[in-house]
Amino acid sequence: MTPFTNKTRFRTWKLAAVGATASVLLLAGCSGGSEGSEGGEGETFTLKYSTVLNENHFYSKAFQKWMDRVTEATDGQVQFEAFYNASLCSQADAVDCAESGTADIVFVAANQHQELAANNVGFIPFQTLDYRAIPVALTQLAEEYPEMDEEYAQRNQKRLFFTSGDPVIVAMNKQTTPEKLSDLAGMQIGASSLIGIAMDQLGASPVAVAPEDIYDSLERNLIQGQVYTLSTVAAQGILEVAPNVYGLNDAGIQAANNFNINLDTYERLPESARKAMDDASRAMHDDDILGSEIDAALVTSCQAVADLGGTVGTLGGDATGEQWKEDSLKVIVERFKENATGKISDVDAFVARYMELVAEYKDPDALSLEQHCEAAGV
């Protein structure tokens, strides 16, 4: 398969706008206007954007393009102040920050918020290596199951758009070079939520490590590896202490995050500004902005591993990997259903529909980590 040729597959797909209503309050972080009124067309607004990531991460680069589009479309009426590296809100506090208006827009990893039961479905791994398919499937699912939007509306926020990560990897510290999947047994591996269950199935000890503590934990050998994505360990500097990277191709994609806006903020903006935001959100997938940023991030990340003298390899992809997938997926789905029962109208149908949509949209020839790095000349 030619590298990255699936980038045009979803350009005609239309991202559905997420609708919600709420009482209109004074907008935190915005200038001008009076309490309880929709912003006028002549006002200017500066919105605070918070993320745990740094500005080099592909999510940050993609969202910068989103912000630029909104500012341009509103002739400068809506502008943004970005807070990177959890300098305004931690990942654990992201939903609370958006709810209260401490931040107007936040990057949310739903797997850090187990109360968001429906939105954690995108973190069920072992579905596909195709990172373009996941947000498309999730958006279609949200159209069919309003519980996904309601979870955020109840927390005074609206989702702007879904995202996806690149394929799952385990980054091992300098002391650790496993040769096969079963070598992870007995190791302390940074992993949380549903992918942590998969690590447990291998006999590893999953450890939930806050993003800001991963570097030190690997350097001090408190954990021997971290389950993440290659683009994230490269952008966040983690490769410096964990240069041995192994694709867990059986696991596929397990990062389905999203960007949310405070609902009061959104409703108070002029209609033209809301339209600019909705248009920019559709463009993230229609114009393949997010997918292209992941493509580029994988190229530079593969090169970063080579520059540090690290290893790019694969664990699994054999009979052991297939058995791991079968055993883990069974437990993961049951755990998801336990958490979601009573919060989703028909949880069995919900999970089945998500898997159907991923199967419908995925590219069966999506590249593995090693194939991405080979295509990058590494």
- Superfamily for domain range 168-253+296-375: Bacterial extracellular solute-binding protein, family 7 (3.40.190.170)
Listed residue (12, 67, 13) closest to 259, CA to CA = 67
Q: What is the pLDDT of residue 36?
A: 38
| Helix, strand, coil percentages, rounded to 5, for the chain | 45, 15, 40
Task: For residue 337, report the phi and psi dihedrals to the nearest 5 degrees.
Answer: -65, -40
> Which residue stretches of the chain have pLDDT < 70?
1-41
* Cα separations in angstroms, 215 against 36, 102, 243, 246: 45, 27, 12, 17
Taking domain 27-35+43-126+133-163+255-288, whether its CATH number is 3.40.190.170 is answered by yes
CB 98 within 8 A of CB 49: no
Q: What is the pLDDT of residue 8?
A: 28
Q: What is the pLDDT of residue 40?
A: 59
Q: What is the pLDDT of residue 274?
A: 98
Residue ranges with strand state E in 2-131? 45-50, 78-83, 105-108
Q: What is the pLDDT of residue 212?
A: 85
- What is the spatial distance between Cα 373 and Cα 299, in angstroms, rounded to a whole number? 7
Q: What is the pLDDT of residues 85-109, one digit of tens each?
A: 999 999 899 999 999 999 999 999 9
The residues spanned by each domain of the chain are 27-35+43-126+133-163+255-288, 168-253+296-375
| 28: helix, strand or coil | coil
Q: What is the pLDDT of residue 161?
A: 97
Beta-ladder partners of 162? 258
Q: What is the pLDDT of residue 192?
A: 83
